[in-house]
Amino acid sequence: MLRRRLNRLFGGDEGRVHSRTIYVGHKSCPPNEAYIPPKFCDNRIVSSKYTVWNFLPKNLFEQFRRIANFYFLIIFLVQVIVDTPTSPVTSGLPLFFVITVTAVKQGYEDWLRHKADREVNEYRVSVLEDGRRIRKMSAKIKVGDIVEVEEDETFPCDLILLQSSRDDGTCFVTTASLDGESNHKTHYTVADLESDLQYLSSTIECEQPQPDLYKFVGRMHIYRNSQEPDVRSLGPENLLLKGANLKNTQKICGVAVYTGMETKMALNYQGKSQKRSAVEKSINAFLLVYLFILVSKALVCTTLKYVWQGKHDEPWYNEKTQKEKDTNQYLKMFTDFLSFMVLFNFIIPVSMYVTVEMQKFLGSFFIAWDKDFFDPEIQEGALVNTSDLNEELGQVEYIFTDKTGTLTQNNMEFIECCIDGFQYKHGDGSSELDGFCVTDGPVNKIQQKAGREREELFLRALCLCHTVQIKESTMHRQDQIDQIDQIDQVDGLGVDHEFLHPPQKETGFIASSPDEIALVKGAMRYGFTFLGLESKNMKILNRNKDVETYELLHVLNFDPVRRRMSVMVRSKTGDILLFCKGADSSMFPQVRQEEVERIRMHVERNATEGYRTLCVAYKHLNAQEYARADADLREARLALQDREEKLMAVYNRVETDMILIGATAVEDQLQDEAAQTMEALQGAGMKVWVLTGDKMETAKSTCYACGLFKKNTELLELTLRTLEDGGRSREERLHDLLLEYHKKAVQDAPPVKLGITRSWSVAGHDYGFIIDGASLSMVLSSSSEPNSRRYKNLFLQICQNCTAVLCCRMAPLQKAQIVKLVKNSKGNPITLSVGDGANDVSMILEAHVGIGIKGKEGRQAVKNSDYAIPKLKHLKKLLLAHGHLYYVRIAHLVQYFFYKNLCFILPQFLYQFFCGYSQQPLYDAAYLTMYNICFTSMPILAYSLLEQHICIEVLLEHSTLYRDIAKNAMLRWKLFLYWTALGIFHGLVFFFGVRFLFSNPALQDNGQVFGNWSYGTIVFTVLVFTVTLKLALDTRHWTWINHFVIWGSLAFYVFFSFFWGGIICRPFLKHQRLYFVFANMLSSVSAWLVIILLILLSLLPEILLVVLRKPRGPHARQKKSSAGDPQSPQSSARPLLTRTFSDESNTVI
């Protein structure tokens, strides 16, 4: 006892045991035992990364982990320490600018996190202490506090529900911020507690904090006088999670069990792993090439310097000092090498990182501002959670999509039902009999019906086997009864005339699943109305207007393993009934087999038509059976260890030997323009895989409706059904099927034509592949490792040669496994996952790009996604227009930056051959510093934000244009080498063109000659004008912003040069090398002539390509006027893109 108390005092018990003990209201239990408050964490939430004290060192450390930043830091330190030809300001100022901008951005983002944390932690909540209700900050809540929460408020921590304002001891919550489910969930108070919690004396023993939202195991010991404590089981139905909202309940009281960073919400929070785009990888590869060029230049100049000094005597005007003569020769050579590295270091564009960051950040606003993404239904548009992947939207090769809520609307409507093998369908225009249309069923029993007793039993099951609640504020029972009175009776079966015009109060139902509401409404149309649950009594209004009352004994909750849910109820006559509903695959083994065949064909037909199906069964329980089930359930619910396994065993034992009554069909309609969107994405060269938890028939029907499968598509099926055919073991059958499908889809497929990378681009046989979760498990985890590896390779090759792939009966983890498998396959294709529910989060996080749909399954997918859109149809424009343009823009930005820096430094390198390798800079320090920051930065930034080389309408109409930029087409080595060659050509023209001018000794009117600073200034002037005008020639979409930054940058350069050359202030005199140099230069007609001629000579190849090349397709801007042109997209749109790329790269593709 003493050891336990000491451990509890110092918090040592939590680290060694699997449970914690909580004293409700901080009262000792039993009352005669001393109370020692246990140590638990407080309720503060901390999601921020920095504090005021560690921001500077931590942020600097993180930034200098980037190779480019660290490189420039080393260069800056070399300039400070070693006597280099350029000032430390030339590299220090750009580095300071980059570090500052990045730090401000990251600091602002962290300030927003601090602000959000502060709002949460300072939120005022009500806590009951000694019978008094006091208000305190959320951060000050402690484990054991009794917290009061009112309707629409958010739970400040994880609470055990003790008291509710509802008579039946329940409350409703929404957990959209946690698991993505926006539907109402029902939670229950602990039974038989004191009405006044001030007098409650109890302890709670529960598991240690763990992140599973759906798992909680605990028990409550209630002490009354000197009696033995009463024990109550606690489960997930008693736990209210932090972040959830209270709905349709005035107020509740609960005791805090997990607080702060130990709440399930905090434990589930994980920072998204940093995703890197293909462009970033290309930048790093290009940087290595330019770093090699830099080192090569420095080595060449260092070597030639000492070769030159060995052949020439030391000039009299530059004699070495005694200190220089005494310096070690190798040390001097190393110092010279560093000096040349510093002189040429501007070939590495450090400012490119800032420009890329700004382009991504500012560019993301164009997605959020796009009016086409605005959805009037939810009054929201697109959302950008990360701006680092904008260009990746233009490189997608594989799309993995969920079905329910993504391809479909997740808007359930009851279509029909089957009772005892007879189909009951309402109002489809066919022949009707007694309010039900009978178009199916046994041939010899056409237009017959099941017995009246079976009909009532089926409809009664629909009204009782669910977790639906009535929302009190919108629908009262008398209103419902009055409404039902308006329903006509035909042969005793209710036919609701408002079926085609649903009543206005449809929001009166609350449930955790839209399927359940659809089933309850379906029963209501046929004469049985659920009136609500009061004090464990469920009431329904039958078709005779009589109210039936059933005592709810137990709810056997739905879980994804059983895929069933059941209720035990007792009628007024004392009969105990078990009603069960679930998926056909989980229900058929649990029922008597003689009823299965009568229902199976209806279920399969409904699934083929794309409906969601559920089977309904019942069972009579005698007193002994119920007593045993009741005892087993209570015992299992009190267990702290393996509670779920014990409950599952009881559920499976009770749900056996049931009688199958019938089945239901619920329709989930396709999203708007789903088929057109899928067609456009496939036309763009993307392969679409559907990953769903639904049954194969339903998902297959959806794929046909979306156009993913065509009528002539041959389906290759790898499911449990096909594995069990043939009478052999599943492993052998799996091996044979994979080999057979591989021969069909891969070995016997026609060869792919040159330049076509997608299998469906060639005329041939189309294949579709279907696999279920169980078969996928066998493929991914075969009993032998060599087989598993071989199966994975065969599976991938088959799928990659199919037009579409359907993976059904998938668990969330399996979805992520498939995405990872494809992502890491040969060629590392770019993957995109799109989904709308919490079960899609794993694949959204796994893919290169994650898209969340703002659907009806909450916002968990949206919160974990990189981009969020209201509807699936918006994916078309997001990829084909925004993605295409973002990639072209940033690819041009990267190539252009390397090009203009090579133009900048090559004359500096060539100048060393004419100055004795003395490390004499060609440009003034101000020009070295300002070139990338001011003179050439804004035009390329504007281009990378606004350029539209093809207008958006053409990109959307001709989806095949997307293929031309696939696989990082604009950042391949061929184009990189072209831009490098162009930079070398321009650098040579700049340097030797000006040198040719200087062959005339007298360039000024007064006969004076130009000096070396004039030489460098003329080269720099030609450089700035040429690279800026080169970008102007590349621009296809001109706006006033482009005009302003391009011509404004040139004007600013001229103004700055005049201003800088005119400064005579004393602090600048020491480094003032350009005093009136620029003005004197422009006074020479020869200088003017050579500047203009060199600019024209440099751009002449570019101008000739633009002017002389014969257009081979209508310009994008003339799309509307040429809409009547009979040319196909392949004959008009593709040459347009080819011509545009040719314009940008000066190469004919």
Q: Any idea which residues carry the catalytic annotation?
A: 402
Where b means 16+ CB within 10 Å and e means fewer, 569-579 reads bbeeeeebbbb
Q: Determine the 3-state secondary structure of 431 from DSSP.
A: coil
Q: Cα–Cα distances in Å, from 1070 out to 830, 1020, 1067?
A: 55, 22, 7
SS3 538: strand
DSSP helix/strand/coil, 830 = coil
- Residue 105: HSE in the Cβ half-sphere, 13 Å Cα cutoff: 14
Measured between alpha carbons, how far is 162 from 142 in angstroms, rounded to an integer? 17
Contacts with 269 (C-beta within 8 Å, 6 or more apart), sequence order: 47
* Residues 420, 589: Cα–Cα separation, whole Å: 17
Positive or negative torsion for Cα 530, 532, 533, 537: negative
Q: Which two tokens stand for residue 1072?
A: 């003032």
Query: Cα torsion at 1033, 1035, 1041, 1045 (round to 10°)?
Result: -40
User: Do 414 and 422 touch, CB atoms closer than 8 A?
Assistant: no
* 95 contact partners, CB below 8 Å, separation of at least 6: 69, 72, 73, 76, 350
Residue 250 bridge partners (DSSP):
none
Triad 724, 729, 733: Cα angle to 5°? 65
Token pair for 691: 């990953």
Q: Are 890 and 282 in contact (CB under 8 A)?
A: no
Q: Which residues pair with 256 in a beta bridge?
A: 159
Rounded-to-integer distance, Cα 27 and Cα 42, Å: 18
Unique residue bearing structure tokens 């959806």: 702
Please tell me the distance from the alpha carbon of residue 791 to that of residue 810, in angstroms, as a whole number.
Answer: 18
- Reduce the secondary structure of 51-88 to three states and give it as a string: CCCCHHHHHHHHHCCCHHHHHHHHHHHHHHHCCCCCCC
Q: How far apart are CA 818 and CA 831, in angstroms?
A: 11
Q: What is the DSSP letter of 724?
A: T
Total residues found in the chain within this entry: 1149
Q: What are phi and psi of 667, to 5 degrees?
A: -100, 135
Provide Rg for the chain, Cα atoms: 37
Question: How many Å apart are CA 672 and CA 676, to the nearest integer?
Answer: 9
Three-class SS of residue 780? helix
**Helix H segments across 546-642?**
584-587, 596-608, 623-638
The secondary structure of the chain in percent helix, strand, coil, rounded to multiples of 5, reads: 50, 20, 35
CB under 8 Å to 684, separation ≥6 — which residues? 879, 880, 959, 960, 961, 962, 963
- Which whole-number Å values give the CA distances from 530 to 425, 467, 470, 479, 508, in the listed order? 20, 11, 9, 13, 11
H-helix or E-strand spanning residue 174: strand 170-175
Largest CA distance in the chain: 123
3-state secondary structure 1022-1046: HHHHHHHHHHHHHCCCCCHHHHHHH
Contacts of 1065 (CB under 8 A, 6+ apart): none
SS3 of residue 568 by DSSP: strand
Q: Which residues contact 1140 (CB under 8 A, 6 or more apart)?
A: 949, 950, 1036
